[in-house]
């Protein structure tokens, strides 16, 4: 693995600055927005001409991907593929990247600029696999892991490939289908994973009432969102209650916890205090806090959120 957690042929941060980031995902180079890079200067302005795909928002609020059919040093095969898509107006086809030999993720362009992976989570996936193996050794049984806001399944697959029984929760049915597809292309279609479309808060409340328990919880809550029945989620209002229920679900046999956040304005110190108070009952105990980063060739290093890990 490279410093990013991926090998560089699968993912690499190439540059960032002026509110954008330039990244390679497999065979394609993408130029996308990055608020964390607003005040940064680009280290290699010429390199940005190599982008195959560019995501932009117009002054009127429109947002779209565009293809660059003349980037320098583009192979003939890739150039023909880009020209064909541009000329026919066809949807850009999905492609895949691999996280080592552990699992694969199928990527596709979305109307909001996402593609199906947050590469800053890669080091967390490596940590999750170590924690699952450690927990299985300690407890002598498969770990029951709950993954809330599971998105396209990176954390779910990391836990499953290490031997965990995973319950994957997401509010969007189409995103769950993409996660299931990622399991299939990774050879994990028969892994013990429950795929559930549900509001995370409601699911945890019901699990507490049912008396169900887990060894571990993974959660990557958005700043704002909606459940499948239009339930409103606001991280500043609802995270505390959710963490308290996660504490109840794991209090009998707590092996590990992972909380990650991309929310601007929710500082690491506040997040850490809330985690310690709601999981352990007092602010003097908790997990280790750190900064998620996108990393390229030194000295490229872009902030990408906060993580809290226990133990």
Looking up residue 254, the CATH number of its domain turns out to be 3.40.50.150
Q: How many domains does the chain have?
A: 2
Backbone angles phi, psi at 227, to 5 degrees: -80, 175
Pair (63, 173) in one structural domain: no
248, pLDDT greater than 90: yes
230, pLDDT greater than 70: yes
CA angle (240 as vertex; 238, 245 as ends), nearest 5? 100
Please identify, among 93, 128, 154, the residue that sits at the C-terminal boundary of a domain.
Answer: 93
What was the pLDDT predicted at 3?
55
**Predicted TM-score of the model (pTM):** 0.94
pLDDT tens, position by position, 153-208: 999 999 999 999 999 999 999 999 999 999 999 999 999 999 999 999 999 999 99
- From its phi and psi, is residue 140 left (phi > 0), alpha (psi between -120 and 50) or beta? left
Q: What is the mean pLDDT of residues 128-151?
A: 97
Instruction: Identify the domain containing residue 80 by its residue range.
Output: 11-93
Looking up residue 67, the CATH number of its domain turns out to be 2.60.40.1180
pLDDT tens, position by position, 12-21: 999 999 999 9
Pair (174, 258) in one structural domain: yes
pLDDT band at 1 (very low <50, low <70, confident <90, very high): very low
């Amino acid at each position: 693995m490279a410093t990013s957690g991926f090998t560089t042929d699968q993912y690499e941060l190439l540059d960032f600055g002026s509110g954008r980031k330039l990244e390679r995902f497999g065979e394609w180079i993408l130029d996308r927005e990055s608020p964390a890079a607003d005040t940064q200067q680009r280290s290699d302005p010429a390199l940005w001409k190599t982008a195959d795909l560019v995501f932009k928002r117009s002054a009127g609020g429109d947002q779209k991907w565009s293809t660059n059919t003349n980037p320098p040093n583009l192979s003939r095969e890739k150039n023909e593929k880009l020209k064909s898509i541009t000329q026919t107006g066809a949807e850009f086809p999905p492609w895949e990247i691999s996280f080592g030999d552990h699992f694969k993720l199928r990527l596709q362009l979305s109307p909001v600029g996402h593609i199906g992976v947050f590469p800053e989570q890669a080091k967390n996936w490596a940590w999750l696999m170590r924690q699952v193996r450690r927990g299985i050794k300690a407890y002598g049984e498969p770990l029951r892991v709950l993954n809330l806001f599971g998105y396209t399944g990176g954390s779910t697959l990391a836990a499953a490939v290490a031997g965990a029984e995973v319950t994957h929760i997401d509010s969007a049915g189409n995103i769950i289908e993409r996660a299931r597809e990622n399991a299939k292309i990774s050879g994990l279609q028969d892994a013990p994973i429950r795929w559930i479309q549900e509001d995370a808060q409601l699911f945890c409340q019901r699990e507490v009432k049912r008396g169900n328990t887990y060894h571990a919880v993974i959660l990557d809550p958005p700043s704002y969102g909606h459940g499948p029945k239009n339930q409103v989620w606001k991280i500043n209002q609802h995270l505390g209650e959710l963490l308290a229920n996660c504490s109840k679900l794991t209090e009998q046999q707590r092996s590990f916890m992972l909380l990650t956040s991309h929310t601007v304005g929710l500082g690491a110190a506040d997040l850490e205090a809330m985690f310690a108070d709601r999981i352990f009952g007092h602010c003097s105990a908790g997990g280790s806090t750190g900064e998620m980063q996108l990393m390229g060739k030194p000295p490229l290093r872009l902030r990408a959120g906060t993580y809290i890990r226990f133990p």
